[in-house]
Amino acid sequence: MPNEFLRIEALAKTYPGAGEAVFDGVDFEMRRGEFVCIVGHSGCGKTTILNVLAGLEQASAGHVFMDGREVAGPSLDRGVVFQGHALMPWLSVRRNVAFAVRSRWPAWSAKQVDAHVEQFVRLVGLDHAIDKKPQALSGGMMQRVGIARAFAIQPKMLLLDEPFGALDALTRGTIQDELLRICAQTHQTVFMITHDVDEAILLADRILLMSNGPRARVAEIVVNTMPRDRQRATLHHDPAYYRIRNHLVDFLVSRSKDLSHGRAPAKPVEVSP
Amino acid sequence: MAVSLKLRAALLSALLLAVFVGAWQLATRPVAAAAGPALTPEQIEYQKMLGKDPGAASASTSSGFPTPAQFAATAAGHLARPFYDNGPNDKGIGLQLAYSLGRVGLGFGLAVLVAVPLGFLIGMSPLVHRALDPFIQVLKPISPLAWMPLALYTIKDSSVSGIFVIFICSVWPMLINTAFGVSGVRREWLNVARTLEVKPQRLAFEVILPAAAPTILTGMRISMGIAWLVIVAAEMLVGGTGIGYFVWNEWNNLSLTNVMFAITVIGLVGMGLDQLFARAQKAVTYAE
C-alpha cells in the first residue's frame, strides 16, 4: 500500500483458558491521515485490537508496525480516547488536559502548557467550562474533554474506542461534526471503533467489517466512495450513502455470523459499493 | 416551615443539656441527714476530740458527687489558668493536654510515615499483599495496651512507650485503607497514565494518591479516633504527664470534679480532632 503508516499482521488474541482465539489472522493497513472505522458485533475483539494498537494489551500472536517501528507498549505517539471519558474527577478540565500536555512536553513552562491547553479546549468548544470539574459537565462535554486531551499531545495516531456510545443522538451529531472538522484541520490519522453504521459512513474513509467471534477477522474493507467533505446534514441525499449503508447492514445482519470460526478470508477484500 | 432544621436541632440539643444538668442537680442536692440516734454528751465530746463537728454534720450531708455548680467552678478555675506548672503532680489542664496531643501527634505522624508508603506497596503489588496479609490480620486485633510491657522493657522510657503504643494502634486502619484505596484506583485512569508514558513517581503522586486520598483519609480519621482513645489509657498506665495521667491522679486525690472536667475536655478535644479530619476528608473527596 502506498504511503503506508500502520500495518497489522496476523494479529491474534487468545485469552487464557479459552479454547479458541477471540480473533486471529487480523490483517490490515492504514495510510497516514486516513480515518478508519472498525465495525462488528460485540465480542469480536474490536476493543482488544484497539488496546493492542495502544500498547495497553499484548496480542497472543502477530505484529503491529507504526511508521516502520513495531508497537511494543504504550506511547505518546498514540493518543487514546476511552469508551468512558476516563477524566480524572479531582482535576478541572484545564488540569486534566494539562496532565497530558505536561507528559508530552515535560520541559515546558506553566505558561506554555496553559496556552497549549487553552488552544485545544477551545478546539472542542469548551473554553467556557475550562475551570470546571468533570462532574459539573454533561456526558457529551466530558467526552469532548477526552478528545481535547488526546489531540493536545499531537499524537501520530488517534485511537477512539466507541467514544460516542453513551451519548444521545443530538449530542453525538455535534461532536461528530467537531471531530470531522478537527481531523480535517490536523490531518490526523484515526482508528475508531463504532457500533453505529451511520457514524462510520460519515467519519470514515474506509470501514473495516469484522466477522463474528470466536476467531473473528477483518472480513471486508469498505471504501467510502463519498467525497471527503461530506456533511451530516446532506449525507443521506447522496445515492452512494444508501449503497454503502445497505452493504454494511447486510454484512452485519446476515453475513458476519457465517464468517466466524476463521471462515473469513485470510486477506480482507476491499469493496467499493 | 419558618424555623430551619439546624436551629430546631440546636434548640433540642440545648433542651437535652438543660434536662441533663437539671437531673444532675437533683441527684446531687444535699439531703437532710437521716435522723440517727441522738448522741450522748460523751459521744459528742469524743467526736470533738477527733476533730469532727457533730452539730454541723447533722445539719446536711452532701452525696459526695459534685454538683453542677461545683463542676462549673472547677472548670472556670482550670480554664483561667490552663498552663501553670507547680511540679509533677500539679500542672494546668492545658499543659497536660499539650503532652497528650504531642504524644498522639508523634505516634500518629510516625504511623502515617510507615502506613501510607507500605499501604501503597501492598495496594500495588498482589504479591506483597498476600505476603503481609497474615501478619496484618494477626497484629491488627491486638489491643495496643498489650504492647505496653514489651515497649517499656525494650524502650525503657515511659513517654516513648506511650508514643509507640499510639503508633501501633494508628498504623493498622491507615495501612489497610491505603492499600484498599490504592488497589481500587480505576483501571482507566491508570491506562490514561500509561498511554501518556507517565513516570512511576508522577503516577504515584498525581494519579494514585489523589484517587486514593478519600479512602486514605478515612483510614487516618479512624486511626486518630483510636489514638485519642488509647492515649488516655496509656497515660493512666505509664503516668507522669498527660490528660490520662491527670484523670488517674485526680482519682487518687478523690477529686471527682477534676475527673469530670478532664472527661469533658477529652471528649471535646476528640471531637475537635475528628472534625479536623472530616474537613480534610471533604477537601480531597471527589464526585465521579
Say whether A89 and B287 touch across the interface (CB within 8 A).
Answer: yes
Q: Is the pLDDT of residue B172 over 50?
A: yes
Say whether A75 and B288 touch across the interface (CB within 8 A).
Answer: no
Would you say domain A1-74+159-168+189-273 falls under CATH 3.40.50.300?
yes
B81: which residues sit within 8 A by CB, 6+ positions away?
A: B92
Q: Is the previous residue joined to B88 through a cis bond, with omega within 30 degrees of 0?
A: no
The more confident residue out of B102 and B47 is B102
Query: B154 vs B109, B119, B151, B158, CA distance in Å?
Result: 21, 27, 5, 11
Q: Is the pLDDT of residue A213 over 60?
A: yes
The more confident residue out of A184 and B23 is B23
- Alpha-carbon dihedral sign for residues B93, B96, B101, B104: negative
Say whether B189 and A84 touch across the interface (CB within 8 A).
Answer: no
DSSP string of chain B? --S-HHHHHHHHHHHHHHHHHHHHHHHTS-BPPP--PPPPHHHHHHHHHTT--HHHHHH-B--SSPPHHHHHHHHHHHHHSTT-B-STT-B-HHHHHHHHHHHHHHHHHHHHHHHHHHHHHHHH-HHHHHHHHHHHHHHTTS-GGGGHHHHHHHH--HHHHHHHHHHHHHHHHHHHHHHHHHHTS-HHHHHHHHHTT--HHHIIIIIIHHHHHHHHHHHHHHHHHHHHHHHHHHHHHH-SSSHHHHHHHHHHTT-HHHHHHHHHHHHHHHHHHHHHHHHHHHHH----
Q: What is the DSSP letter of A121?
A: H
3-class SS letters over B184-224: CCCHHHHHHHHHCCCCHHHHHHHHHHHHHHHHHHHHHHHHH
Say whether A74 and B197 touch across the interface (CB within 8 A).
Answer: yes
> What's the grid cell of residue B134?
497474615
3-class SS letters over B12-28: HHHHHHHHHHHHHHHHC
Adjacent-strand bridge partners of A9: A63
Flag whether residue A43 sits within 8 Å of chain B, measured between CB atoms: no
Q: Looking at residues B164-174, what average pLDDT do you find?
A: 94
C-alpha to C-alpha distance for B270 and B265, rounded to whole angstroms: 8
Which of B191, B202, B284 comes nearest A56 by C-beta? Answer: B191
| HSE-up (13 A, CA, CB side) for residue B82 | 12
The more confident residue out of B142 and B37 is B142
| HSE-up (13 A, CA, CB side) for residue A126 | 32
Domain ranges of chain B: 93-284
Q: How far B207 CA sits from the closest chain A CA (Å)? A: 8
Query: B220 vs A107, A267, B176, B177, B270, CA distance in Å?
Result: 36, 59, 10, 8, 14
Buried-state track B204-226, b at ≥16 Cβ within 10 A, e below 16: bebbbbbbbbbbbbbbbbbbbbb
Buried-state track A97-123, b at ≥16 Cβ within 10 A, e below 16: bbbbbbbbeeeeeeeebbebbeebbeb
Q: What is the pLDDT of residue A153?
A: 93
C-alpha to C-alpha distance for A157 and B282, rounded to whole angstroms: 40
State the burial class of residue B39 (Cβ atoms within 10 Å of its Cβ: 0-12, 13-18, 19+): middle
Q: Looking at residues B71-80, what average pLDDT do you find?
A: 90
Q: What is the pLDDT of residue B36?
A: 56
Domain ranges of chain A: 1-74+159-168+189-273, 78-154
pLDDT tens track for B219-243: 999 999 999 999 999 999 888 889 9
Contact present, A205 and A230 (Cβ < 8 Å): no
In the β-sheet with A61-66, what is the strand arrangement from edge to edge? A23-31, A4-13, A61-66, A69-70
Chain B residues within 8 Å of chain A (Cβ atoms): 186, 188-189, 191-192, 194-198, 202, 206-207, 210-211, 213, 284, 286-288
- Continuous segment of H or E residues that includes residue A160: strand A157-161
**Max Cα-Cα span within chain A:** 57
> What's the grid cell of residue B198?
507517565
Q: Is the pLDDT of residue B121 over 80?
A: yes
Q: What is the pLDDT of residue B1?
A: 56
C-alpha to C-alpha distance for A185 and A187, rounded to whole angstroms: 6
Would you say domain B93-284 falls under CATH 1.10.10.10?
no
Say whether A75 and B206 touch across the interface (CB within 8 A).
Answer: no
Flag whether residue A76 sits within 8 Å of chain B, measured between CB atoms: yes
Adjacent-strand bridge partners of A269: A220
Question: Searching chain B, which residue's CA lies closest to the CA of residue A134?
Answer: B288
DSSP string of A41-92? -TTSSHHHHHHHHHTSS--SEEEEEETTEE--S--TTEEEE-SS----TTS-
Q: What is the pLDDT of residue B169?
A: 93
Contact present, B115 and B104 (Cβ < 8 Å): no
Say whether A76 and B287 touch across the interface (CB within 8 A).
Answer: no
Question: Searching chain A, which residue's CA lies closest to the CA of residue B211?
Answer: A90
Q: What is the pLDDT of residue A1?
A: 65
C-alpha to C-alpha distance for B105 and B103, rounded to whole angstroms: 5
Place of cell 497516514: A32
Q: Looking at residues B107-123, what average pLDDT do you find?
A: 96
User: Of A156, A169, A148, A179, nearest to A31 (Cα)?
Assistant: A156
Question: Searching chain A, which residue's CA lies closest to the CA of residue B285?
Answer: A90
C-alpha to C-alpha distance for A131 and B284, rounded to whole angstroms: 17
Question: Searching chain A, which residue's CA lies closest to the CA of residue B209?
Answer: A90
Amino acid identity for residue B100 in this structure: S
Which of B194, B198, B284 comes nearest A56 by C-beta? Answer: B194
In the β-sheet with A218-223, what is the strand arrangement from edge to edge? A78-81, A157-161, A189-194, A35-39, A206-210, A218-223, A269-271
Q: Which residues of B touch A79 (CB under 8 A)?
A: 195
Contact present, B177 and A54 (Cβ < 8 Å): no
Say whether B195 and A88 touch across the interface (CB within 8 A).
Answer: no
| A202 three-class SS | helix
Q: Is the pLDDT of residue B59 over 50?
A: no
Adjacent-strand bridge partners of A38: A193, A208
Which of A76, A86, A103 comes nearest B189 by C-beta? Answer: A86
pLDDT, mean over chain A: 89
Q: Is the pLDDT of residue B245 over 50?
A: yes
Q: What is the pLDDT of residue B33?
A: 55
Q: Looking at residues B181-193, what average pLDDT do you find?
A: 93
pLDDT tens track for A143-187: 999 999 999 999 999 999 998 887 888 888 888 888 888 888 888
Q: Is the pLDDT of residue B54 over 90?
A: no
Contact present, A137 and A145 (Cβ < 8 Å): yes
Place of cell 472498525: A38
Q: Which residues of A touch B191 (CB under 8 A)?
A: 56, 80, 82, 86
Question: Searching chain A, which residue's CA lies closest to the CA of residue B199?
Answer: A103
pLDDT tens track for B76-94: 998 888 888 888 778 888 9
For an interface test with B, give the residue of A83, A85, A90, A161 to mutate (most B CBs within 10 A).
Answer: A90
Q: How far A244 CA sits from the closest chain B CA (Å)? A: 34
For an interface test with A, give the residue of B186, B190, B192 to mutate (most A CBs within 10 A).
Answer: B192
Q: How far B148 CA sits from the closest chain A CA (Å)? A: 42
Q: Which residues of B touch A54 (CB under 8 A)?
A: 195
Flag whether residue A56 sits within 8 Å of chain B, measured between CB atoms: yes
The more confident residue out of A137 and B88 is A137
Q: How far B4 CA sits from the closest chain A CA (Å)? A: 28
- Alpha-carbon dihedral sign for residues A125, A179, A88, A155: negative
